[in-house]
Amino acid sequence: MSLFAGIDCGTQGTKVVIVDSEQGAILGEGSAAHPLISDSNGRREQQAGWWIEALVAAFHQAVSHAGVDARQIKALGVSGQQHGFVPLDEQGTVLHNVKLWCDTETVDENEALLAQLGGVSGSLAQLGLMVATGYTASKIIWFKQQHPELWSRLHTVLLPHDYLNFWLTGERVMEYGDASGTGLLNVRTREWDRRIVDLIDDSGRLWNALPPLKSAESCIGTLRSEAAERLGLSTATRVATGGGDNMMAAIGSGNIAVGTLTMSLGTSGTLFAWSAAPVVSESEMIAGFCSSTNGWLPLICTMNVTSATSAVQALLEEDVDGFNRLLDQAEPGAGGLEMLPFFNGERVPQLPYARASLHNLDSDNFTRANLCMAVVESATYGLRYGMELFRRQGISPREIRLTGGGARSPRWRQIVADVMNCPVVCLQVKETAALGGAIQAMWATALAEEPHQQADGVLSDLCQRFVSLDESTRAAPDARRQPQYDALYQRYLQRLQQAYPEASL
């Protein structure tokens, strides 16, 4: 029995899967929640220590569920929410709460940095992508300006998954996929960009705080004694590079070749596809990230998916099952009720100051069921907005692989198929980012033990073994509803452009 573990540290909690590489099976899963610090000014933060406690709890739960001796686990791979800023001092102390991917408090700092780069075109030319609010760069500027006494102690800049790697191994490193989302990496050359770093801080402190970069199939080290003791593992357990949650979900959904697109209906909404070369996009809203498979992963992220549906669910005092029952009672178009679901501002389209709104209410359509339908449809229209940008770049998938909590709703899956006019299907393993971490750990271990193997072939074989589709979830576009949703999407665009003229495609 050869055991591996995948860890996913997300916004809402940490999840762990234990995988037997010989049987090709997941033996156990565990999860633990973390709280969120939020404010109406866009502040979204967490304490890094919460992630460690959640990791330990979820890990023991997964091992117990698997019924195995944890000391048999050969390697770990860590997935983490992207763009977070974890500042460490020389001793490894976290200097401030971690500002998360969904933090929009640093809008002004990002706009100032973008202007210094020469606007959108200058950022695309310099880095291969547009520095966006939510990326790590503007968080660093905010930290430097708001906390100069802490800035003077800054020794290392890490991302959330890197911090877990640091706690596990003591190593301060990044890999190219997650590093792409800092706004400090040239995604075409895969190098830290000295010009943008010096625009933020020309003293050398930030440049020296950027960790070395490791390729995706590498192991970065083995477990520290403290981490091994708390997790019940051997100090010989390897730790792979890991990556951002989207990069790991690409591996965990088998999205490692052209033709497949992964769509996450999570707190945020993401669309991403694989590319063998850097994506030179006509739209700055497509982030041409590196993948965690040594390729590229063009990606679009919307800020309001299950975060928006959860807000409506809480308002109606319904659990997920109750929300879905209400959703099933509503017809396409929600009786004319329209929503712009921008509870957290929005990234695609670029509307960081936007707020959610309801439109076209009357005494007949203002029902609980229509409110549920309106928020689901509007969140899905936001993802179609992103899909249209992909199609303009020649990215037209044959199939969409759905992940995230929203994908568990049969009605929502059908709505996605109808709105996107593309077949959709879920994966047998729901925790695709955690599974991706485990697969990457197997990949890195196989190459460490037999370095002369072809890296791409090893990864492809692993994905074929571990990534399987749940055919019971497959949904194809409905011939009657799909044209109806084309018209409803156009109505959404009209509403969007009335409220935010700058949002036109």
Q: Which residues participate in catalysis according to the annotation?
A: 245
Phi, psi of 298 (to 5 degrees): -55, 130
Distance (Å, rounded) from C-alpha 478 to C-alpha 5?
Answer: 39
Binding site listing: 82-83
Please state, as a whole number, how many other Cβ atoms lie within 10 Å of the Cβ of residue 363: 6
Nearest C-alpha neighbor of 246 from the set 258, 237, 255: 255
In 315-462 the beta strands, taken as DSSP E runs, fall at 338-340, 357-359, 399-403, 424-427
Mode of pairing for the β-strands spanning 73-80 and 3-9: parallel
Site of tokens 């640093």: 106
DSSP helix/strand/coil, 362: coil
Can you name the residues that pair with 15 across neighbouring β-strands? Answer: 8, 31
Locate 378 and state its tokens: 């509007």
Phi, psi of 419 (to 5 degrees): -70, -40
Distance (Å, rounded) from C-alpha 467 to C-alpha 464?
Answer: 6
Residues 488 and 376 sit within 8 Å (Cβ to Cβ): no
Binding site listing for substrate: 82-83
Locate 376 and state its tokens: 């689901």
Residues in the chain: 505
State the Rg of the chain over Cα: 22
Site of tokens 């690409």: 250
C-alpha dihedral, 61 to 67 to 72 to 77, nearest 10° = -40
Distance (Å, rounded) from C-alpha 36 to C-alpha 46?
Answer: 6
Residue 210 DSSP label: S
CA angle 235, 238, 244 (to 5 degrees): 130
Locate 277 and state its tokens: 């070369």
Nearest C-alpha neighbor of 82 from the set 107, 99, 101: 101
Distance (Å, rounded) from C-alpha 415 to C-alpha 398?
Answer: 17
